[in-house]
Amino acid sequence: MIEILAVLGLPVAGALILALIGHRREAPVVNVVVSFLTFAAAGALTARVIAEGPLLVLDRQFFVDPFNVFLVALTAFVGFTTSLFSRPYMRIEREHGRLNAARLRLYHSMYQLFNFTMLLALLTNNLGILWVAMEAATLATVLLVSLYRTPASLEAAWKYFILCGVGLAQALFGTILLYFAAERLLGAGGGALLWTELNGVKGQLEPTVLSLAFVFLLVGYGTKVGLVPLHNWLPDAHAEGPTPVSAVLSGLLLNVALYAVVRCKVLVEGSLHNAFARELMMGFGLLSVVVAAFLLSRQKDIKRMFAYSSIEHMGIITFAFGMGGPIASFAGLLHMTVHSLTKSAIFFAVGHATQKAGTQAMEEIRGLITVSPMIGWGLILGSLAILGMPPFGVFASEFLILTTAMREQPWATPFLLGALGIAFAAVFSRVQPMVFGETTAKRLPYRPAMVPVFVHLAVVLMLGLWIPPFLAEWYRQAARLIG
């Protein structure tokens, strides 16, 4: 219990401290230290769960089970490495005159607040608080997306706010409907929104209400996952915000939103006893994969391209959870982990690459490997990993998803394979000349942070070859839960 309080309390304390001193020179270090402490607390929480099993504490308001424990650790870890990356990145941005001290203070404070909302959304047992945390995450990131105050970034932030605001309002309506169904069984008051309680009585929940609720919840949280056709905000927000924000949006926020969808799916599935929720998720997932692959091949901006790649991967995961079953759900959970690590590593490399080239247009970024081999290798290895090349972890999860699809949903396999092929051709043909070829890049005033990139890629590589037994066991248990 003390661990949960620490995991949630540290980012809040960090946000408050950084709201006061975020403009000073030492602020990036404070940001790193707070993120590291949060990560350490999450590590302690994970160790506790390994030793003692699931937790349900503080008047049943918080819980940790195999499904959210690894996501908490992952969120804290990526939060920490991104803070490492953001230290040199933001200093260079300031040197280039794109930011001033006041904006940096806002950035640091909001970064911690965003971490807090993510962790709260994961740890809370109350579906109402989950909604509140998701909305708060939107609000925190809106300010981060518009940090540069350029016309394009304001437009992106406005679009993000309005679209996700409308989306989350739908999710709130879904939550109200869920509460309405549960209140008749569990009585009024706090109990009827607690996920563990709902999970206990899911067989008796009214199916008509739940199916309607699920539509609203999927559309609502699906907007935040970036599922097509609700994805419009995502490429803009990724391309126009600072790169550390793109990394945490892709690596963490999308995962947490998907987590919310899957939690709701478990309840609906238990009540409906039919394939309604599954088919809906498979449909949205497949549509996202295909549409994102085509749009991806038309991009000229490097961050937009990788944003579309995130939509594609979220589609794959949604499709996997839609298929269900022990193997597909296992693969979905693995894919959530490896996508989050790989995509944030790519954004770290991309961030420094765009700083070197002074532009985000892919045609003008050339020859990274000659001027800075580390960035070049990071980008090319990250791209190969995200495209599903063995022996990286993405290959393992995509392979499992594809083979399951061939067996259970053969009609979907050509779409999946085709989309993956298009994405491969598009991304690889663009990354290759950026990394090799003639150079135009300039020197950076500070040393780029490349350690996080290679740490992430090493973990992804490890997960492709060997999954630690406790993690595999959590995946298996969570897959059973998801069904």
Give the whole-angstrom CA distance, residue 476 versus residue 33: 34
Looking at the Cβ atoms of 193 and 353, the one nearer to another protein is: 193
Torsion of CA 384, 386, 390, 395, to 10 degrees: -160
177 contributes a contact to another protein by CB under 8 A:
yes
125 contributes a contact to another protein by CB under 8 A: no
CB of 131 to another protein, least distance (A): 8
Between 133 and 286, name the residue whose CB sits nearer to another protein.
133
Question: Interface with another protein includes 391 (CB under 8 A)?
Answer: no
Is 65 among the residues that bind another protein (CB under 8 A)? Answer: no
Question: Under the criterion CB under 8 A, does residue 131 sit at the interface with another protein?
Answer: yes
179 binds another protein, rule: CB under 8 A = yes
* 178 alpha-carbon distance from chain centroid: 25
* Residue in 152, 126, 141 with CA at minimum distance from that of residue 57: 126
Of the candidate spans 63-71, 175-183, 251-259, 430-438, the one that interacts with another protein by CB under 8 A turns out to be: 175-183
Asked whether position 135 contacts another protein by CB under 8 A, the answer is yes
- According to the binding rule CB under 8 A, does residue 364 interact with another protein? no
| Position 429 contacts another protein (CB under 8 A) | no
480 binds another protein (CB under 8 A): no
Map the footprint of another protein across residues 136-165, applying CB under 8 A: 136, 139, 142-143, 146, 149-152, 154-159, 161-162, 165
CB of 101 to another protein, least distance (A): 17
Which segment (45-53, 123-131, 405-413, 472-480) binds another protein by CB under 8 A?
A: 123-131
The answer to whether the beta carbons of residues 394 and 379 sit under 8 Å apart is no
Selected from 60, 183, 370, 424, the binder of another protein by CB under 8 A is: 183
In the range 230-249, which residues lie near another protein by CB under 8 A?
236, 240
Q: Among residues 142 and 260, whose Cβ is nearest to another protein?
A: 142
According to CB under 8 A, which one of 40, 57, 94, 206 is a site residue for another protein?
A: 206
Q: Say how far apart CA 315 and CA 296 lie, in whole Å.
A: 14
Instruction: Answer for the pair 341, 459: CB distance below 8 angstroms, yes or no.
Output: yes
Which CB atom, from 93 or from 135, has the smaller least distance to another protein?
Answer: 135
Residues 272-311 that bind another protein (CB under 8 A): 295, 298-301, 304
Residue among 24 and 159 whose Cβ is closer to another protein: 159
Q: How far is the CB of 194 from another protein (least distance, A)?
A: 10
Nearest approach in angstroms of CB 317 to another protein is 24
Task: State the minimum distance, in angstroms, from the CB of residue 221 to another protein.
Answer: 15
Residue from the set 209, 327, 425, 481 that interacts with another protein by CB under 8 A: 209
Compute how many other C-beta atoms are within 10 angstroms of the C-beta atom of residue 183.
14
Interface region with another protein, contact rule CB under 8 A, candidates 182-190, 345-353, 454-462, 470-478 = 182-190
* Residue 408 within binding range of another protein, rule CB under 8 A: no
Q: Which residues bind another protein (CB under 8 A)?
A: 126, 128-129, 131-132, 135-136, 139, 142-143, 146, 149-152, 154-159, 161-162, 165-166, 169, 172-173, 176-177, 179-180, 183-184, 188-190, 192-193, 206, 208-209, 212, 236, 240, 295, 298-301, 304
